[in-house]
Every structure is written in structure tokens, then in C-alpha cells.
Copies of this chain bind each other. A is one copy, B any other.
């Protein structure tokens, strides 16, 4: 059977119908769960409280080997009937919002408003709904399903949760594929993992009085040279590759040559090769900028140096066209009448993609928007939500091997 036939067979099965009925019957509980979880703050590097609550939920859902790992991820296994191969079904625990953000949920009709409610708290609740639906329908899978609530997906979290899972977990050798359920819309499938390298570069120099010490090297100009250098670097449109000098600060007084100027730089590419090339180019640009400034003005009181700190490193990767996991995800999306779109983004799936493990970001169902803003919202209107949930549940079953299908 090809992917479409497999999805069709699953959707035609009475057990899948029972699972879908359970999702519908339990919808209010799923909504209650997302509200509960959303109102537990989970700022970057502060996911402990939500992780603890989710760990208890995973345990209450009857999973095996429920645990929290060293980095803070929580997980548990829904055992399959096969040889112990694993499909990971993940959602991330962290939000972009700092500690102290008001995370109370405001409801207007079927819409929930709260920071983090759709990115990615909804998926945490929906993954629990999947477990209940599978149990209620008595559905078994060949592969074990490893449900994970992971830390560190956002920003400077640098994918540390999933990175740790693939670097350290005892489950690692048995993981065959990886789905991260992230944000509601199911038609947006991320198959290209945009990697990034992030730098904080501090240009230092001797400083001095703006008038009396005129002619000395100035770290401001080395910074400007580096910024101009990076701005001029041409990058391919496909695979998408980008660069940005994002933040700058330096100097103390209008009548002084600065001692130090710092920039923060974001380099991204969907191609590991292009990202590495851009990275090397940027580092050379910084070296050249320092040398140019040291040659342009006097170094009698000291030279310009650059201190380069890598503050982010997300691997690039791609689950290429023709991969069975892509065909299955697309078939599941199409079967519910959506038009599947494969996209590039930076998600937890970057890590397995970079390791050559089939991986996608899929959706949890429903509609949401304004992610990363205080106006973030999630529409849990049942019809659309359940349509999306069925989509991703069918994909999970096709990937993990539903008993009696195919």
C-alpha cells in the first residue's frame, strides 16, 4: 500500500472511528487540559513547574517508563507490539514568554487567549487526547510511541531538550522517526529544518578622548566594517539562507572613543552546507574587519580585538521529498481535505533531521495565531479542531504501524 492507501485504510477502520469519537467526546477535557497547562508559566529555562504537571498527566494516562530526564524533558512510552522500535511524538513545554508574564487564559466563545496557548501548549493537551483515544479504541501499534514534553525549543533554549534526547537518551538507538506536534494548523508541515548559528561579537579597543585621542583605532568602525561585510554576503534563495546583524550596543559618552562595541548576529540556512559556509564567511569577515581597522588608524595605545561567543547553534536538516514520512503526513492532511504545504522552519525536528532521522513538524488541529505575542490565541471550535486532530492521529498510526493495517 502506498501512503494514501494506508491512510485510507486507517480512516476506514472501525477502531479509528472509535478513536475519533473519543476525541470528540473528550474535547472539553482536552480544552480543560490546555487551560490548566497554559496557566502554569513555562518561560525559557523555567519549565520545571509545567514539566512536573505534565509528568503527572503522562503517568495518569497509563504510559510506561514515565520519567524526567537530566535536561528536564518528561516522557513515557505507549508500548507497541513490535520489536521496540520507537516513533517519538513530542510537543514542547517552553514558551517564549518571560517569568512574570500574565498567563491567565481569557475565553471568548471558542477562542482562548493567552501567551503560549497555541505555541505549543495546545499540542501537549492534544497528545494526551491521542493517548486516551487510542486506549478507548483498543488500537495497538507496531512501534512504541514515545510521548515527550520537551524543554528548550524556543530562542536561546537552542533545542536543548530534543538535542539531549538524541545525544543521551537510552531510547535513542531505537528511534525510527520523530514527529513534533507544534501549533494548530495541520496543513503546514515542516520538512526543512532551518539551522542557525548565533554570535555575540565584542570588538574591543583602547578607547580614549574623542578629541585628544583622535586617530586611535575605534571598535565602532571595526563593528561597522563587519556589519557592512555581512550585509553584502550573497546567499542562495533555495535552500533559504539568511543573515542579520540584529542588536548593537557600545560606547559610554559622546566625547569618548568606545572601549567596546557588541553586536548580535543571526545566521540561518535550511542547508547544513550553506550554513557552515556562511558561518565561516562571517568569522572571516570579523577577522578582516579587525585587521582593516587596525591598519586604518593608530594602534599606539592598543589594538582592536574581537571576542566571538557562539550563543546559538541549531543544526540544519531536511526530510527530503520522497521520504515515506512526508508522503504519509501529506496523505493524512489531504484525506481531511486540506492542501498540504511543506515548509522550512526551525523546530524541534531540526535535530533528528540533522541526524538523518525521518522527522517532521505536524499540527495539533484547530486554528491559532499571533504566536510569540501577548495576543496569542487558539480557536478550539470542535469541528475544525477534531478534523485536525484526526489528521495527525492518522499520520501517527500510519507511521507507527497500526495493528491489522497494511
Closest 9 pairs (CB-CB, A-B): A247-B251, A214-B242, A224-B227, A210-B244, A224-B224, A221-B231, A210-B266, A254-B264, A220-B245
Q: Which residues of A contact B (CB under 8 A)?
A: 155, 194, 196, 198, 210-211, 214, 218, 220-221, 223-225, 227-228, 231, 240, 242-258, 261, 264-266, 268, 296, 311-312, 346
In the complex the two chains form, is B224's CB within 8 Å of A211's CB?
no
Nearest residue (CB) in B for A250 is B248
Q: Given A221-B227, A268-B210, A311-B254, check contact A248 B249 (CB 8 Å).
A: yes
Known: A223-B224, A228-B224. A257 touches B253 (CB 8 A): no
The docked-state distance in angstroms from the alpha carbon of A220 to that of B257 is 19
CB contact between A253 and one of B228, B247, B311, B346 (< 8 Å): that residue = B247
Residues of chain B within 8 A of A266, CB atoms compared: 210-211, 254-255
Chain B residues within 8 Å of A244, by CB: 210-211, 214, 218, 255-257
With A225-B228, A249-B248, A250-B247 given, is the CB distance from A255 to B211 under 8 Å? no
Chain B residues with CB under 8 A of A224: 223-225, 227-228, 231, 245
Q: What chain B residues lie within 8 Å of A255 (beta carbons)?
A: 155, 244, 246, 266
Residue among A210, A218, A228, A312 with the highest chain B CB neighbour number at 10 A: A210
Query: Could you list some 27 contacts between A and B, CB below 8 A?
Result: A196-B211, A198-B254, A210-B242, A210-B266, A211-B242, A214-B244, A218-B231, A218-B244, A220-B245, A221-B227, A221-B245, A223-B224, A224-B225, A224-B228, A228-B228, A244-B256, A246-B253, A246-B254, A247-B252, A248-B248, A248-B249, A248-B258, A248-B261, A249-B249, A254-B264, A254-B311, A255-B266
Pick the contact of A227: B220, B254, B256 (CB < 8 A): B220
| Minimum C-beta distance from A163 to chain B (A) | 18
A247 touches B254 (CB 8 A): yes
Could you say which of A227, A256, A257, A265 has the most chain B C-beta atoms within 10 Å of its C-beta? Answer: A227
Q: Which of A211, A225, A247, A346 has the most chain B CB within a 10 Å cutoff?
A: A211
Chain B residues within an 8 Å CB radius of A265: 254
A211 to B275 alpha-carbon distance, docked (Å): 13
A258 and B268 contact, Cβ closer than 8 Å, known pairs A210-B242, A227-B221, A231-B296: no
What residues of B have a CB within 8 angstroms of the CB of A223 in the complex? 224, 227, 248
Q: In whole angstroms, what is the CA distance A220 to B264 when docked?
A: 11
**Distance, CA A227 to CA B245, complexed state (A):** 15
In the complex, A210→B231 CA distance in Å? Answer: 12
Shortest Cβ gap from A255 to chain B (Å): 6
- Give Cα A268 to B210, complex, Å: 9
Which residues on the B side are within 8 Å of A227 (C-beta)? Answer: 220-221, 223-224
In contact, B248 and A220 (Cβ under 8 angstroms): yes
Given the complex of chains A and B, what is the CA–CA distance between A252 and B244 in angstroms? 13
Residue contact A246 to B231, C-beta cutoff 8 Å? no
Q: A218 to B247, alpha carbons, bound, how many Å?
A: 11
A199 to B, closest residue via Cβ: B254
B311 and A211 form a contact (CB under 8 A): no
